Amino acid sequence: MAKRTKTDRVISSLRTKPPGKSNEFVLPNHSGDHSRGRSYTQPTTDYEFANKKYVDGEIAAIPPPSIAHVDTTGITGDDHHARVHNIASHSDTTATGTELNALTNTSNADLLHAHAHSSTTGKTINDHHNRSHLHDGLDGTPQLSHDDLSGITTDNHHNQVHDIASHSDTSANGSELNNLTDDSMADTLHRHSELSASDGTPNPAIKVDASGKVGIGIGTAAPGALVHIGKAEGPIQDGLHIYGGNEELGNYIQKWFDWNGTNLMNLNDEGTLYFLGQGGLPFAEIYARDNTATTSTSTTKTQILIFDTNGQFNSMTPNHTQDHITVTKAGKYKIDCSISIKNSSGAAHVISLEMYKNNGTVVFNNIHAGRTLSTASDVGNLTMSGIVDLAVNDTIELWITSDSASAKNVTVEDIDLCAIQIGGT
């Protein structure tokens, strides 16, 4: 028996099943449906069917194309431009790219917009400009004035010229702050215990300590009195101390002559003027006592040269070896001289004594005395007094003459010469 083919089996199956009750024959058409079939081979022609596995695998194996950013093939200027570009490459609206570039590349933009300024004479761009100026709006809006306060409150705008009181004050109020700069009295605002000189030196020039003592010109030292004027260290030649007391100017005024306070002049509340240490007016004295040496006299003046002792002195120079006193402070001086003189010649004659200065070059006619010595043992006393004007380094001396043409000896037994300043020159 021959082997049954696939076709035999299909026909046999149709015989075993009674046909449906229908007058129509239906033949399925699966020409567009490939779900029933399988393709195990790779398509080789354009019209062969490709299965899903083949298609999916081929697509996954295709790499995406590599496109460079600079590649503008098929691209217009609206779709792509270079990464580095200027404003002009953009699609401009009102302003052009060239105009926009001019705003940022230091070009002259006078033709693009305007700036109105009251004056630019002598002004650079770094200088402050006048507050009254106008701005032109680029969009056609009117010019705006800095003085225009429309819609502006005082918190947003105030005049350029204004005082401190117009600010929002914190602790100090505006009036108080104004008082610090308008030459007003500021006693109730703050205190000063020191004042400096106008150029900063000395600093301080005046100071007041915690006890109310005032120092003037003493630097940083503590005042030594109610009012202490002068230097506070080193030799003090110009320091004035005014000590306090019940009197308006204090109990006494002290003029200091040195730092240790031992040489000074006092004027107490009773009006008494006195000195301590070497304080006082310039004065000096030279003298001799119980002298036995003789002096020859004639009509030619001779200096008396028998002084042997320097007396008291202050700010003058007594010198008995030179028989004169030297002035160190110019001024008016009171001169006093007393002499006890004996005739040693054996005959009567008239003697005259005169005051000279600078080794007998200038005579003081107001200081003069004379008398007659009658016998060999006659002793006479003379006194002289007067006021003279002396300069620094002047010297004062005593000179004697006789009316006798021949030499006549005398013995100046006792003599005293003193000078004291009583005024300025």
Burial per residue of 45-54, b for 16 or more beta-carbon CB atoms within 10 angstroms, e otherwise: eeeeeebeee
- R_g of the chain computed on alpha carbons: 65
Mean pLDDT value of segment 238-251? 44
What the block records as the tokens of 234 is 């080193």
pLDDT for 277 equals 73
Q: How far apart are CA 66 and CA 325, in angstroms?
A: 124
- Following DSSP, what letter does each residue of 283-337 receive, concatenated? EEEEEE-S---EEEE-SS-EE-----EE---BSEEEETTTTEEEESS-EEEEEEE
The pLDDT, as a whole number, for residue 5 is 76
DSSP state of 9: H
Provide the pLDDT for residue 236. Answer: 43
The dihedrals phi and psi of 192, each to the nearest 5 degrees, come to -125, 125
Name which residue leads in pLDDT, 372 or 14: 372
**Beta-bridge partner residues of 265:** 255, 275
97-120 residue pLDDT tens: 777 677 777 777 777 666 555 555
Domains and CATH numbers, the chain: 192-277 (no CATH), 283-423 (2.60.120.40)
DSSP-derived pairing of the beta strands 227-229 and 324-327:
unpaired
- Which residues lie across from 145 on neighbouring strands? 134
**Rounded CA separation 230/232 (Å):** 7
Select from 387, 394, 392, 352 the least CA-distant residue to 373.
Answer: 352
- Residue 269: which residues within 8 A CB-CB, separation 6 or more? 245, 246, 247, 250, 251, 252
- Give the pLDDT band of residue 227 (cuts 50, 70, 90): confident
pLDDT of residue 6: 72
Rounded Cα distance, 66 and 364, in Å: 131
Strand partners, 229: 216, 240
> Looking up tokens 């026909």, which residue turns up?
11
The average confidence (pLDDT) of the chain is 75
> Is residue 75 pLDDT above 50, yes or no?
yes
pLDDT: which is higher, 308 or 376? 308
